[in-house]
Amino acid sequence: MASDKKTMQSEHPIDARYRAWSPESSQLSKRACEVFPGGDTRASAHYAPYPLTIQRGEGCYLYDVDGHQILDFMNNFTSLIHGHGNARVVDAVSKQAVIGTAYAAPSQNQIELAELIVARVGSIDQLRFCSSGTEATLMAIRCARAFTAKQKIMKMEGGYHGSYELAEVSLIPVPEFRGELERPNSLPVDGSFPDSVLQDTIVCPYNEPELAKQLIEENADTLAAVIIEPLLGSMGMIPANKRFLETLRETTEKNGVVLIFDEVISLRLSGGGAQEIYGIKPDLTCMGKIIGGGLPVGSVGGKRELMQVFNPTNPERVFHASTFSGNALTMAAGLAAMTLYTPSEAERLNRLGDMLRRGFDQALQQSGIRGHATGLGSLVNLHLTDKPLHDSRDAMEGMLGAGHIGRLLHLCMLQRGVMSASRLMYCISTPMTETEINIAITALSESLSELRPYIETERPGLLI
C-alpha cells in the first residue's frame, strides 16, 4: 500500500485524474498483470498508466467497464471500417457460424471475396488469403525471393510490416544509431534480432527518390524485393510523394526487383487502395484489416506469374499452409464488409478525414501550441510539431521534442470521450458523420486548454 501511495504522489496530475476517472479499468489492469507480462497481451494497444478495459462496442462508440461512452477513432487500428456490430456483417457471421467456422477446404464465400478484391484492385490477378497482415507481408517476401532467386530485401526507414524481425528492421530511427540519411543503418527494434536479418535488409530513406534509385541499382544483383507502405503508418501517417513511388516502380522494373505495396492499412483509401490514387501498379499487394470484416485476416495478391509460386501443383512451390487461412467465418464477414464498403463510401470517409485534419490544425493554431495533422483520406495522425514531416526521421524528432505531452494529450482526449491510438493516430469508420468529427475537434480544443499550463512549465518549446 505504501508503494502505491508513493506511485500516486510521483505521477503526473493528468495520470492521477485518469486513475480516478477509470477505477474499474484500474482494478482489471492489476488482475491482468498477474496473468500477462506487464498486464499486456498486445504491445500496440498498451499505454500508461493502463489501458481502458472495454465492455462492448456499438457503431462508432465503445463502452468501458466504468460506464463511459467513447467515440472510437482507433477502430482496432483501422480494421473496423464499419465500426462495431454492423448489422449486415453480424448477420453474415451468425449464419456462417451455424453451418461451420472453418472447413480446411474451399468455401464459396472465399471465392466471392477474392473475386471482389481482384475486380477492384487493378494490379491483382490472383491472391491468397492468410490470417494476418504480418503473414501477408511475410509470404509476399517469400514469394519474391523464390521468384527472383535473390535474397536481400529493401524496406523503408520507419516502415512497419508486421511482427517478425525483417518487418521491423529500422522501425524506430533512433537518432544516435540510425546513421546518415544517404545510407541508413539496419537497426534492430529489440534484442531478438539475429545479425543475418540485419545483413539481408537494406534500409531506404523514405520519400528520397534519387537515394532509393541509387540503393536499388547498387544492390540489384542480390535484391529480391522492395516493400513499402504508400502511407507510412506507424511513424505518423506520412504519405509517400508520387515521384518517390514512380522512381521505385521504374527502378525495380528495370533491375528485376519485385515491388511490394503493403496496403494492409491504406487499402481503405479507395476501391483500389492507395495504388489507385497514385496511379502506380506494384507487382504484389499485401492486404488485411478491412477485408476481414473485423475478424483476423490477411492476403497477398498480384501478378499471375508471381502468384504461381504458391500453386500446389508447382513442383518448386513456396509452401504456405496456415490453419485459418481463408476460414469460412472470416470470409463471410469480409465479403459482407467489402460489399458494403463501396468506392463512394471511401470517398465520403476521405472527405471526413480532410475535415478532421483541418479542424485539428485550427484547434492547435488557436491554442497557441505547435502541431499539425498529417495523413491521407480517412487516416489521420496528430503531431506536436509545426515542422513539415517528410519521413520517419522528422516524425521521430517531433515525438522526441514533444516528450510526454503526446501521452498526456491521449489521456485528456480519452477522458473527453474520444479514443485514438496512443501515438495519436485517428481513423474514420462508416457510422461516423460530421457530428463525430466535430466532437473530436472540440475535444482536442478542450484538451489543449487543459494541457497548456503544463506545457508552459514542462515543454515551453511547444508554444507558438
pLDDT digits (tens, 9 = 90+) for 23-78: 999 999 999 999 999 998 988 999 999 999 999 999 999 999 999 999 999 999 99
Q: Which of 72, 289, 341, 426 is catalytic?
A: 289
Please answer whether residues 271 and 249 qualify as being in contact, where contact means their C-beta atoms are separated by less than 8 angstroms: no
Q: Is 262 designated active site?
A: yes
Q: Which of the following is catalytic: 160, 278, 341, 426?
A: 160
Residue of 413, 451, 363 lying closest to 13 (CA atoms): 451
Residue 260 forms beta bridges with which residues?
A: 227, 284
DSSP class of residue 223? E
Check: CB of residue 70 under 8 Å from CB of residue 417: yes
CA distance 320 to 322: 7
| Single-letter residue type at 295 | L
- Is residue 374 over pLDDT 50? yes
The predicted-structure confidence for 71-105, as pLDDT tens digits, reads as follows 999 999 999 999 999 999 999 999 999 999 999 99
Maximum Cα–Cα distance across the chain: 68
Q: What's the grid cell of residue 263?
A: 496496403
What is the rounded CA–CA span in Å between residue 276 and residue 3?
A: 56
The sign of the CA dihedral 73, 76, 80, 82 is: negative
Q: What mean pLDDT is predicted for residues 198-203?
A: 96
What is the Cα–Cα distance from 286 to 140, expressed in whole angstroms? 7
* Grid cell for residue 210: 534519387
The whole-number pLDDT of residue 218 equals 97
Locate 67 and state its grid cell: 460506464
**Whole-angstrom distance, CA of residue 246 vs CA of residue 326:** 33
Fold for the domain defined by 13-81+343-462: Aspartate Aminotransferase, domain 1 (3.90.1150)
Domains of the chain, residue spans: 13-81+343-462, 87-340
Choosing from 15, 64, 200, 262, which is the catalytic residue? 262
**Amino acid symbol at 88:** R
Q: Three-state SS for 55?
A: strand
Per-residue pLDDT, 2:
41
pLDDT in tens, 339-370: 999 999 999 999 999 999 999 999 999 999 99
Query: Grid coordinates representing 58?
Result: 456499438
Confidence of residue 181 (pLDDT cuts 50, 70, 90): very high
Q: Where are the beta strands (DSSP E) in 272-378?
A: 284-288, 298-302, 372-376
pLDDT digits (tens, 9 = 90+) for 265-298: 999 999 999 999 999 999 999 999 999 999 999 9
> For 242-264, what is each residue's pLDDT tens digit?
999 999 999 999 999 999 999 99
Grid coordinates belonging to 96: 456462417
pLDDT at residue 155 is higher than 60: yes
Percent of the chain at pLDDT exceeding 70: 98
Through-space distance between the first and last CA atoms of the chain, rounded to whole angstroms: 43
Domain 87-340 has CATH 3.40.710.10: no
Q: Which pLDDT belongs to residue 40?
A: 87
